[in-house]
Amino acid sequence: MLIDRFGRRITNLRIAVTMKCNLRCFYCHREGQANGEESELSVSEIAEIARAFYDLGIKKVKITGGEPLLRKDICDIISSMPPFQEISITTNGTLLAEKAEELRESGLDRVNVSLDSLRPETYRRITGGDVEKVVDGIKTACEIGLTPVKVNMVVMKGINDDQVEEMVEFVSSMNRDGIRAILQLIEVLKLPGLERYHLDISGIERKIASKAEAVLLRGMHFRRQYSFETASGNAVVEFVKPVDNSEFCAHCNRIRVTSDGRVKPCLLREDNTVNVRGLKGEELLEAIKKAVELREPYFRD
C-alpha cells in the first residue's frame, strides 16, 4: 500500500494517454501538463507502468487525456490493464456513441463524460464542438452499462451557472429505473485568465442539499453526493470543490501519470514530477515510491 508523508493512502491512478484533443475548451487545465504531445507512451509502456502501480496496491485507474478516445489503440490500452477493481475513462464524449460497445468489450467498467451545457450555443462557445454527439454518447453509455456514467459539468460564472437545473433534470431522466448517471458539479480552477469565471459553488450546493433525501460523504476528496427525486426521475449530484480547499487536498488519494511518462504527485504542480519512462522492475517501483514521497497537499490550513 502506498501512503504519503501526510498519511494519505494512494488508491487511485489517473493516466493521461495523449495530449491531443478534438475540442478547444477555453478553461482546460490539460491535466496539469504543459507538454508531451509528440511523445505519447506506447501500449506496452502504459501497461508496464499500470502493473507497477497495481503491484503497489492501487485499486482503480482512470484513463484521461487530452481526449483518450482519439488514440486508435485505446481498446488495447484498456485490455492491457492489470485486474484493477475499476477501469474508467474520462472523455469529452464526442466519439463515445460509436466506440462504447468496443470499449466495454475491452474491459472498460464505466465512463465520465464532460458536458458543461445542453444548449448548443453555450456548448459551442465553451468547447467549439457539437453537443448532440455528446448527449448521444451519454445515452449509449447508460444503455450498454458503462455505469454509473458521471456527467462532469464545470460551472462557470456568466457562462453556464444558470443551467444547473436543466442538467440535473437531464441526468435524472437517465435514472427512471435504477441509477445510471450521476451529475458532478465541478468548481473551475482559478488558472491564470480564468479568475473572472470562478464561482464558489457552495451556494448551489446549499440549494441542492435542501432537497436531498440522502447524502453520501465520499472518501475521495471528502466529496458530498446528494440524492433526490425530480420531475424527470432520480437525481444524484456530487460536488467537486478543489479551490482553496484544504479538506479536498487532505483527502486526495489520487496520483497521476503524464502522457510522456512522468509520475505527477499533484495536478497543480509541474515542478515535482518523476520520470518513469523506460524504467522496469525494482527501478520502476522505487521511482513511483519517490514520487509518492514528494506528495504534499496543495492547499492546507
| Cβ 2 vs Cβ 10: under 8 Å | yes
Q: Which of 11, 20, 27, 222 binds ligand SAM (CB under 6 A)?
A: 27
Which cell goes with 195? Answer: 479568475
The rounded radius of gyration (Å) of the Cα atoms in the chain is: 19
Under the binding rule (CB under 6 A), the answer on residue 91 touching ligand SAM is: yes
SS3 category, 207: helix
Assess contact for 150 and 179: CB atoms under 8 A: no
Task: Render the burial of 188-208: b for 16+ CB within 10 Å, e for the rest.
Answer: beeeeeeeebbbebeebbeeb
**243 sits near ligand SAM (criterion: CB under 6 A):** no
**Which is closer to ligand SAM, CB of 29 or CB of 110?**
29
State how far the Cα of 41 lies from the Cα of 71, in Å rounded to an integer.
11
Q: Is 21 a residue that touches ligand SAM (CB under 6 A)?
A: yes
- As measured in angstroms, the least distance from the Cβ of 166 to ligand SAM is 18
In this structure, what C-alpha cell is assigned to residue 155? Answer: 460551472
Q: How far is the CB of 152 from ligand SAM (least distance, A)?
A: 4
- Please, which residue, 129 or 233, has the CB nearer to ligand SAM? 129
Determine, following the binding rule CB under 6 A, whether residue 90 of this chain makes contact with ligand SAM: yes
Q: Does 175 bind ligand SAM (CB under 6 A)?
A: no
Cell reading at 180 = 445510471
CB 163 within 8 A of CB 125: no
Tell me: does residue 114 bind ligand SAM (CB under 6 A): yes
Site string for ligand SAM, 127-166 (x = CB under 6 A): -------------------------x-x------------
Strand, helix or coil for residue 233: coil
What is the nearest approach in angstroms of ligand SAM to the Cβ of residue 256? 11
Q: Give the nearest distance from C-beta 248 to ligand SAM in angstroms.
A: 12
> Interface residues with ligand SAM (CB under 6 A)?
21, 27-29, 31, 64-65, 67, 90-92, 114, 152, 154, 186, 188-189, 191
